[in-house]
Each structure stands twice: as structure tokens, then as C-alpha cells.
Structure 1
Amino acid sequence: MSFTLANMVTFEEEIKKSRFQAIAAAVENEQQVKNFLEEHKDLSTTHQCWAWKIGHQVRFNDDGEPSGTAGRPILATIEGNELTNVIVLVNRWYGGIKLGTGGLVRAYGGCAGQCLVLAEKIELIEKKEVQFSCLFNEWAIIQYELVQQQIEYQESYIDTGVVIQARLQVHQIEPLRLKLQDVSRGRELLKVIETQENDT
């Protein structure tokens, strides 16, 4: 069972005159990671170290700290909390006292860990993309169903009817498939779009 964060959370502490600030948030894809890092860019910091995990993909960055002393310990706290689809950024404002490699590992990992302790964790529910079509006169019934189930969708209109792309929780797929077959009298099929996990 995997968990993610219900909302963004921050934690600050001072360690030997250096100020550390951790910011943790839920992310669903690399674009959201980029947006998060862009939003939290802070030129006043000495280092902005981070780690994220989305599914089986992980990345981390030491941002000038000695290799392995910042990003990896942050990632270890994410994995230690059984979290995924999460990014943790730890900002450091250097206070003039060197912490040494062991001290840095403890500071970055500890600050990230304290931040995640404060976070409300929610069970991560897997979602899949699906695509299907229906006739114009069937769309109102299907659309009502999507709205009732709070399913995200986009529709596009073509000559023969409506093409719908939706993103829904795994347990919602089968009921929607049956509804579509019922409404279209078995004519239309629901296709699950398998997204490729690209490891760039």
C-alpha cells in the first residue's frame, strides 16, 4: 500500500547556526515537479536540495553539498515513510559552521523527516486513462455518470458523435465499461490507455 500527502507542509529548524527549511508536497508527474521547483526557487538560500519519487521513478539533487549528503538522505525519508508521488525540498541558509558529511546527512534527512511527520498522509489510489466514444444522444447520460462519479474528463466532438478521454480510479473502470455497453447497446468499448513509464 502506498501513500501520498494530502497537502503541502513545511518545517524549519536551526542546526549550528544554519537554518534548514523543508517543504513537502504531492506531485503526479515530472511537469508538476518542475513547477514546484520553479515556484520555490529562492536565491537567498545557500543550497536547495531535493528528492522526489513518483511510482518507481526517483530523482535527487545535492545542489552543491558534498555528494550523497543531502538528496539521498531526503529520498531515504520519503521511502522510509512509504510515500510516493511526493517531492521534498530542503533549503539551507549557511550559518558559518561546517557540519561535516555525517552532520549534513543528519541535518537534511532529519529536517525532511520532521516535515513528513507533520504531513497528513492519504492512501494513493491508482488512476488510469481511458478513451471511448458515444453518439450525441447518448452523451448526456454518460456525462451525468462521469459528473456523479467525480471523474475528470475531456470531450471532443466529431461528425459521428463524442470522443471522451477520462482519468479514473481503477475500481471505477468496470462500472463505467458496463454503463457504456448498456447505453450504446454493446456498440462502444472502453479502452484503457496504458501509459509508458519513461525513465528519462
Structure 2
Amino acid sequence: MPFTIAAQVSYEEEIKKSRFQAIAVPVENEEAVKTFLEVNKDITTTHQCWAWKIGHQVRFNDDGEPSGTAGRPILATIEGNELTNVLVLVNRWYGGIKLGTGGLVRAYGGSAGQCLLLAEKIELIEKKKAYFGCQFSEWSIFKYEMQHQGIDFQEQYTAEGVVVELQLQVHQIPELADKIRDVTRGREQLKLVEEQHD
């Protein structure tokens, strides 16, 4: 079962006068990664190195440090902790003493590792996109049901009724599918959206 982290955590340490600050944050998609990196852009730093993993997708950035000494060790730490949907950003403020490539690998990987140790690991619950339609008279029943189960949904009103798009945890699918069939007397059904994978 894949794991992610429950909330943002940070960790700081000083290594040979350089200050390292690691920030780990859960991310759902590349958009969330971009937003986080823009919000946390800090021009006072010497380097802002990062790595992220979302499902099978990974990216990392050495931000001017020698190739392979920052982003890759951060990514190795994420993978070593068996995490996904996580971004780790490590800021470095240079203190005047060179660390050498081995020192940099240990500093970036180590800061990221210490940071992730502080994070609460949670099971990543797979969600599926789905949709269904219903009449206006049935909508309040479904709305109550979905709010009660904590399901993320968006409704769209049409001339015929309501079209609902939702994100369901896998275990919620059978129950909601039965409810839709019952309430609409078999007229409507829950349709799952097939994800496109490259």
C-alpha cells in the first residue's frame, strides 16, 4: 500500500556553517508542486534543491549544485521511505566552507531524511473519478449521502436535472452505485472515468 505524509513538516540543521532547511509537503499533482515551489521561492538562499514523486512520476532539481549531489539524494530519501505524492524542498544558505560532492550528498539527503522522519505517514487512499445524473427531485438525497460520506463532488445543473462529478475512494463505489440505482429505480448508474496513463 503506498504511503504519503499527513501534513507539511520542516527541519533545519547547520553543516559546516551552511544552513540547510528541508520542507516536505504532500502533493496531489504537478500543479500543486508548481504552486508550492512558487510560493516558497526564496531569493536569500544560495540553492533551492528539490525532488518529488507522484505515483510513477518523479522529478528533481540540483539548482546549481554539482549534478547528482542534491536532487537525486532527496529523491532517494523519498523512495527509501516508500512515500509517494510528496515534494521535498531543501534550501541551502552557503556558509563559506565547501562540502565536496560526498558532503553535499550527505547534507541534502540527510536533511530530507530528518525532515521526513518528523512527518506522520498516512496510507494513500486511491480515488477514482466518477459521474452520474439525477433529477432535481432526487438531488437532495444524493447530496446528503455524499456529504455524509465525505465524498468530494461538483454538481452541474442542466435543463434535464443534475450532473454530478465526484472523486470516490474505492471502497465507497459499490454502496453509492446501489444507492443511485435504488433512488432512480435503475434509470441512472454510477459511471467511472477511465484514467489515461502515458
Verify same fold: TM over 0.5. Answer: yes
Q: Supply the distance in 2 between the matched residues of 1:176 and 1:30 (Cα, whole angstroms).
A: 30
* Residues in 2 aligned to 1:31 and 1:3: alpha-carbon distance in whole angstroms: 20
Q: Which amino acid in the other structure matches residue 138 of structure 1? A: E
Q: Deviation digits for residues 110-147 of structure 1, max 9, x if unmatched?
A: 00000000111111101111111011111111111101
Which residue identity does 1:20 align to in structure 2? F
SS in 1 for 2:52: strand
Give the C-alpha shift of residue 28 in structure 1.
0.2
1:158 is matched by which residue type in structure 2? T
Divergent runs of 4+, >3 A: none
Which residue of structure 1 lines up, in the alignment, with residue 155 of structure 2? 155
Instruction: Report the equivalent of 1:166.
Output: 166
Instruction: Work out the CA distance in 2 between the residues paired with 1:65 and 1:191.
Output: 48
Corresponding residue number in structure 1 for 2:178:
178
Structure-2-length-normalised TM-score: 0.98
- Residue 34 of structure 2 corresponds to 34
Question: How far apart are the structure 1 equivalents of 2:140 and 2:119?
Answer: 40
TM normalised by structure 1 equals 0.97
Q: Provide the rounded CA distance (Å) in 2 between the counterparts of 1:100 and 1:49.
A: 16
**Residue-pair matches, total:** 198
| Runs of 5+ consecutive residues of structure 1 not aligned to the other structure | none
Map 1:34-183 → 2, pairs under 5 A: 34-183=34-183
User: Residue 190 of structure 1 aligns with which residue?
Assistant: 190
Question: Structure 1 vs Structure 2: percent identity of aligned residues?
Answer: 73
Paired with 1:96 and 1:11, the residues of 2 have a C-alpha distance of 21
5+ residue gaps in structure 2? Answer: none
Q: C-alpha distance in 2, partners of 1:10/1:43? A: 19
Letter in 2 for 1:114: Q
